[in-house]
Structure 1
Amino acid sequence: MARITLICCLLLGCLGNSLQAEPIKIGLSYPRTGNYKTEGLELHRGALMAVDAINSSGGLLGRPVQLLTRNSASRAQNARNNVERFARQGAQMVFGGATSEEAITAGKRARQLGLLYFATLSYANEVTGREGHRYLFRESNSALMSARVLGEYLGWHMPRQRYHYIIVDDTWGRSIESELRATTGSQDRARHGRSALPSSSALRRHYLDALHKAAASDAEILVLALLGEDLRHTMRLAHNLGLHTRMQIIVPHLSKSIVQQAGPKVMQGVIGTESWTWQIPAQEKSPAGQAFVDDYIRQHGEYPDSAAASAYSIVQQWADAVRRSASLDSEKLIQALENHRYSLLKGPQQWRTFDHQNVQSIYAIRVKTRSQIMQDPLKQDYFEIIHQMSGEAAAQSHDDWQQERGEDLVLH
């Protein structure tokens, strides 16, 4: 008995020593304020859960992991400055962001400083396409992946429809519009009209002008390629104008937070995409995914969003690469990540070698009716999955990627 007690004391002592060692720092740049602050909250929660899980298991390389955070306010220059601040504080990796401009700008600065950068809510093709490089990895899906699953579903169920697009005039907005037009056969702008909102500081009159133009068209499908507060304001105004009664509304990237902010009644019947929802672990028989959902509910009293899942997965995957390479060196971690296949919060995923895009299944989803939502114990069961596409079918091919890159055919 005394020997068992001694062994337990030694083990506890080792664990205590590991958590008293110099921490391994990682930096999360995310919006605490601005257009995407609600999504930022989800990113922060997911990151904290991953760090807590790692530290409760003894840390990493015998050291605890410490999460550093800074507000980006969804601005590219802020994100770049955050990377520099994290580097001065000794961070070994940076992740986050809620726009593609953030990912591109922050990722470039991270490369100059020798740090890996993992993009979260950054959907423009350019992130891992024309602007991609060795030190940048993207966990979220691309605009093309969303467009392909939506295009296939709409082609099967709503063929030969007239479209109207309202986009935010930024990298992602232009990217998703281009891809959706291609996958739905709505490239003819004379037939399928559009309006573009300013990328920052859009006003109520901008939203109304765009919606009145859509209302005056003969469109049967209204695509709102918007995110965050822009989407919330536009959806409420569209509902007040009654556009939902005469058009099928498509929101390419849906999230729990936007349904909560705009309201289930306003969002009812809207179709979009997600790379993960809280129902996916049960559907795809993922014990780790279900444990994440259960733990999130226990801590926060609500279901996790895909943003939380993305941040959690990034931290866990980076930590896994550190363990497998037994190193914090960025080059060794790149080698450990490239072509790595894994399952964590859903079915199989892969960090692709040639572009560092995470290849994973993508889902078309529809917002349930308010009466259906209210039957759920947490009253947050917002989405039904209406279509699914494998990551291999949805992601850009190597040949198309090289065509986009021109003469720059490998990551540097």
Structure 2
Amino acid sequence: MRRLMICSFLLVLAATANAAQPIRLGLNYPSTGNYKSEGLELRRGALLAIETLNRQGGVLGRPLELISRNTAAREEKARANIEKFAAEGATMAFGGATSEEAIAAGQRARELGLLFFPTLGYANAITGHDGQRYLFRETNSAWMSARVLGEYLSWHLPNRRYHYVSLDDNWGHSMEQALREATRSRDRARHGFSRISARGARHEEYLAALKKAASSDADVLVIVLLGQDLVQTMRLAHDLKLDQRMQIIVPNLTGSIVEQAGPQVMEHVIGTAAWTWRVPALVKSEQGQAFVDAYIAQHQRYPDSTAASAYAIVQQWAAAANRTGSLHSEKIIKALEDHRYSLLKDEQYWRSFDHQNVQSIYAVRVRSRSEIMQDRFKQDYFNIIHRMDGEAAAPNLDEWQEERGDELSLR
């Protein structure tokens, strides 16, 4: 009898210890390099989600803990970090600043049985050609950005001549190609282009690309860049007064880019965003507004779409774990597939055949500097100028299977 009581006591102690054991989540983010400002937004959004969930009792009665590692936007570091997260007991991983990172980290996560949610990876290949069962993308694809821009530009700037300055990487190629299709600017002889090195681009390279654009007869300048590549190119374009003679398009816009380049430099630039801090009020989302208010209270600034994506990923993974009563990746995959929810905006869902998050996408224009300066934080950067429903923006099953080739389902 005494032995039975001791065994029961030990089992209770073990269960209590396990209940208190934190659940670890691994965040790949760039704290240095070309995308460090975006990395800061990622970490802030993730931490706010974890703080919110822990106040509500955590996941399966256990608190969440964030493990963060710098990638410097390098795929080899992103992949190595996944191995470290797994060794440290992480149950899922997310983050990254480039499409190459997303693909490399996602592949290693699958090999280790971890779910991976990329953040700033927009290349079509992430949920297209290189899509796989253990990867879910919350952010929009290049295809989705191109379609909302294509529709807006066809209505408001029809029959214009384009010139493209694009990053020479997976995302840059897919974004340019998708925009050429959407805007009917496929003819490269008429609608010229320049490529920017994916790593180590210098001032002279940005300048040469912009001078080539200036010597063209283009009406629209499309700059398919991110991070410091985009900041430096936009400053040079402003110095060359290209913004006075061309409509500048930046397909993926974030508040941190406008802040770094400066509102005067970015004035009237058109791009896309899946979310802005004004969207919750626009669609009457109470949870979305609570996120905005909490972020402002902590940081005295508006949250960016990057922070919102990290926040939503953690919340959605946690909700799936609580629904299934398990941290097992396969069970969470089944709980996420075709799951519809409203969190920070109107309804969206994780599509089962490609694991792309299907959601409304917005075309936005950077407000004038004078308007921005009137705001209390001087950070109210965007006016929403067009909206497209997620089903219309995302590729359909036939289009997805055409990109996949012989492999017509996720593995």
TM-score (normalised: structure 2): 0.95
Alignment correspondent of 1:310: 309
The change in CA–CA distance for 1:237 and 1:18 in structure 2 (over 3 A counts) is: farther
SS of the residue 1:136 aligns to: coil
Q: Distance in 1 between matches of 2:350 and 2:331?
A: 15
For residue 375 of structure 2, what is the amino acid of its counterpart? D
Displacement after TM superposition at 1:157 (Å): 0.3
Q: Distance in 1 between matches of 2:399 and 2:144?
A: 13
**What are the Cα deviations for residues 153-194 of structure 1, in whole angstroms up to 9, with x where unaligned?**
000000000000000100000000000000001000000000
Displacement after TM superposition at 1:19 (Å): 10
Alignment correspondent of 1:80: 79
**What are the Cα deviations for residues 305-337 of structure 1, in whole angstroms up to 9, with x where unaligned?**
000000000000000000000000000000000
TM-score (normalised: structure 1): 0.95
Alignment correspondent of 1:366: 365
- 1:223/1:251 contact within 8 Å kept: yes
Question: Where does the alignment leave 5 or more consecutive residues of structure 2 unmatched?
Answer: 1-15
For residue 283 of structure 2, what is the amino acid of its counterpart? E
SS of the residue 2:395 aligns to: coil
Alignment correspondent of 1:194: 193
- 1:18/1:64 contact within 8 Å kept: no
For residue 207 of structure 2, what is the amino acid of its counterpart? L
Tell me how many residue pairs correspond in the alignment: 396
Alignment correspondent of 2:391: 392
Alignment correspondent of 2:378: 379
Q: Distance in 2 between matches of 1:211 and 1:373?
A: 27
Alignment correspondent of 2:268: 269
**What are the Cα deviations for residues 174-230 of structure 1, in whole angstroms up to 9, with x where unaligned?**
000000000001000000000000000100000000000000000000000000000
Pairwise mapping of residues 115-264 of structure 1 onto structure 2 (< 5 A)? 115-264=114-263
- 1:19/1:59 contact within 8 Å kept: no
Displacement after TM superposition at 1:378 (Å): 1.4
The change in CA–CA distance for 1:103 and 1:197 in structure 2 (over 3 A counts) is: same
- 2:34/2:227 contact within 8 Å kept: yes
Q: Distance in 2 between matches of 1:401 and 1:241?
A: 40
Alignment correspondent of 1:8: none
Q: Distance in 1 between matches of 2:216 and 2:406?
A: 42
SS of the residue 1:138 aligns to: coil
Alignment correspondent of 1:48: 47
Q: Distance in 1 between matches of 2:313 and 2:225?
A: 25
Alignment correspondent of 2:113: 114
- 2:139/2:274 contact within 8 Å kept: yes
Correspondence 1:70 to 2:69: yes
Alignment correspondent of 1:408: 407
Alignment correspondent of 1:349: 348
Displacement after TM superposition at 1:45 (Å): 0.1
Identity %, equivalent residues: 64
- 2:19/2:61 contact within 8 Å kept: no
For residue 339 of structure 2, what is the amino acid of its counterpart? H
**What are the Cα deviations for residues 350-376 of structure 1, in whole angstroms up to 9, with x where unaligned?**
000000000000000000001111111
Alignment correspondent of 1:89: 88
Q: Distance in 2 between matches of 1:52 and 1:19?
A: 20
Alignment correspondent of 1:339: 338
Displacement after TM superposition at 1:18 (Å): 8.7
Runs (4+) off by over 2 Å: 17-20
Q: Distance in 2 between matches of 1:314 and 1:340?
A: 13
**What are the Cα deviations for residues 10-57 of structure 1, in whole angstroms up to 9, with x where unaligned?**
xxxxxxx79971111110001001111000000000000001011111
Displacement after TM superposition at 1:60 (Å): 1.1
Q: Distance in 1 between matches of 2:299 and 2:268?
A: 27
Question: Where does the alignment leave 5 or more consecutive residues of structure 1 unmatched?
Answer: 1-16
Q: Distance in 2 between matches of 1:142 and 1:365?
A: 16
Q: Distance in 2 between matches of 1:43 and 1:19?
A: 29
Alignment correspondent of 1:5: none
Structure 1 vs Structure 2 CA RMSD = 0.9
Q: Distance in 2 between matches of 1:181 and 1:197?
A: 18
- 1:40/1:98 contact within 8 Å kept: yes
Q: Distance in 1 between matches of 2:355 and 2:19?
A: 34
Alignment correspondent of 2:9: none
Alignment correspondent of 1:325: 324
Q: Distance in 1 between matches of 2:51 and 2:274?
A: 24
For residue 83 of structure 1, what is the amino acid of its counterpart? I
**What are the Cα deviations for residues 254-308 of structure 1, in whole angstroms up to 9, with x where unaligned?**
0100000000000001000000000000000000000000110110010000000
- 2:162/2:191 contact within 8 Å kept: yes
Displacement after TM superposition at 1:377 (Å): 1.4
The change in CA–CA distance for 1:166 and 1:333 in structure 2 (over 3 A counts) is: same
Q: Distance in 1 between matches of 2:195 and 2:79?
A: 26
Displacement after TM superposition at 1:407 (Å): 1.1
